[in-house]
Homo-oligomer: A and B are copies of this chain.
Amino acid sequence: MSDKIKIAIDAMGGENSPKKIIEGIKISLKKNKDNFFYLYGSKGLIESEIKKNEINKEYYQIIDTKDIILDNESAFSAAKKGKESSMWKAIESQKENMTDISLSAGNTGALLVISRLILKTIVGINKPALAALWPNKNGMNVVLDLGANIDCNEKNLLDFAGMGSALFKSLFNNKSPKIALLNVGLEEIKGNDVLKKTFATLKNNKNNNFHFSGYIEGNQLMDGNIDVVVTDGFTGNIALKTAEGTANFIIKGLKKSLNIISIIMSYRSLKKFRNKLDPRKYNGAIFLGLEKPVVKSHGSTDALGFAYSIDTCNKIVKANLIEKIKSNLITIDT
């Protein structure tokens, strides 16, 4: 067990938990047996699901917890009263070095606040950020911040660049990711002051840990030319949700437009394309900037989506993401 990746799981967070959590573990164990799961939540409920899914004892330990943080609770009230919750206890296990990483499908705001309360911020980083994977023509890229920080200064964006490139390296085994700043134009004079300052610093950055490619516009996010897209949490959140909304709108519209014979005729290739865009594959936003890694699964994902976020946890720990972040940070004279 000592060689295994130790994942602390908030088994009560998100829709349909702990059912989907345990089913997700079962799916993930089929391809990868080097994880060990510390399951935080109602022992009775978890055990019943474990039995149904016939998961071997060598892969898990249950830690019975009393409280659950609900999805509609405010982050601060959750943090205040949540010390006996499955989410709190899971993250606390990282502080005690019992586990390597936490994974929760629960309340995002509460997870961010509780993680910051319990786990230390990496020295040199002012604001942790939320990163996620985004599909593109050639595969996937990392985008951050996606909503943890509404207002960001130059230092924050530089930290995001360093953290995002460390994440991309960890997940895709790439030595020098291409980084760009999301902006309203490609010319150096475009954008606000914070972007212009960040651009100048990244342009002159001697650190060879990544390649700075300048600005990127919203319509180029899926072209596949950039590996890490850096933006403030307000803009990142709007971009992510606008892309989701647009994708849903078009896919629904086209579905209605295709008759059943057309769908059958192109079944295989349609399935392949749909598979490429399957949001479950992109499940798992990564909270970056703390001394320990925390992963947030989408609350409404299913067992397969949860299994994908377990894979993300495994890769992050194996690649030693936190050390990569530390060696990636860009220092500026202030």
Contact B244 A257 (CB under 8 A): no
A147 within 8 A of B: yes
A262 within 8 A of B: yes
Tell me the smallest distance from the CB of A70 to a CB of chain B, in Å. Answer: 15
Q: A259-B266, A269-B256 are in contact. Are A218 and B245 (CB under 8 A)?
A: yes
Of A14-22, A247-255, A293-301, the one with at least 4 CB within 8 A of chain B: A247-255
Of A50-58, A77-85, A232-240, A310-318, the one with at least 4 CB within 8 A of chain B: A232-240
Tell me the smallest distance from the CB of A157 to a CB of chain B, in Å. Answer: 14
Interface residues on A, range: 35 or more
Contact B219 A137 (CB under 8 A): no
A191 within 8 A of B: yes
Give the residue name and chain of the B residue nearest to A135 (CB). B249
Instruction: Tell me, in angstroms, the Cα distance from A243 to B217 when the chains sit together.
Output: 11
Q: Which residues of chain B are within 8 angstroms of A173 by Cβ–Cβ distance?
A: none
A119 within 8 A of B: no
Q: A258-B269, A277-B250 are in contact. Are A219 and B242 (CB under 8 A)?
A: yes
Contact A192 B266 (CB under 8 A): no
Give the residue name and chain of the B residue nearest to A264 (CB). B262
Q: Which of B150, B235, B261 contacts A191 (CB 8 A)?
A: B150
Contact B253 A273 (CB under 8 A): yes
Contact A234 B184 (CB under 8 A): yes
Instruction: Tell me, in angstroms, the Cα distance from A218 to B235 when the chains sit together.
Output: 10
Q: Nearest 8 CB-CB pairs, A to B?
A: A218-B241, A218-B242, A219-B245, A262-B262, A257-B269, A219-B241, A184-B237, A222-B249
Task: Please give the residue numbers on chain A whose beta carbons come within 8 Å of chain B beta carbons, in ascending order.
Answer: 136-137, 147, 150-151, 182, 184, 191-192, 217-223, 231, 233-235, 237-251, 253-254, 256-259, 261-263, 265-266, 269-270, 272-273, 276-277
Listed by A's residue number, 15 A-B pairs whose Cβ atoms lie within 8 Å are: A218-B244, A219-B241, A222-B246, A231-B238, A238-B238, A238-B242, A247-B250, A254-B254, A254-B273, A257-B266, A258-B269, A258-B270, A262-B262, A262-B263, A262-B266
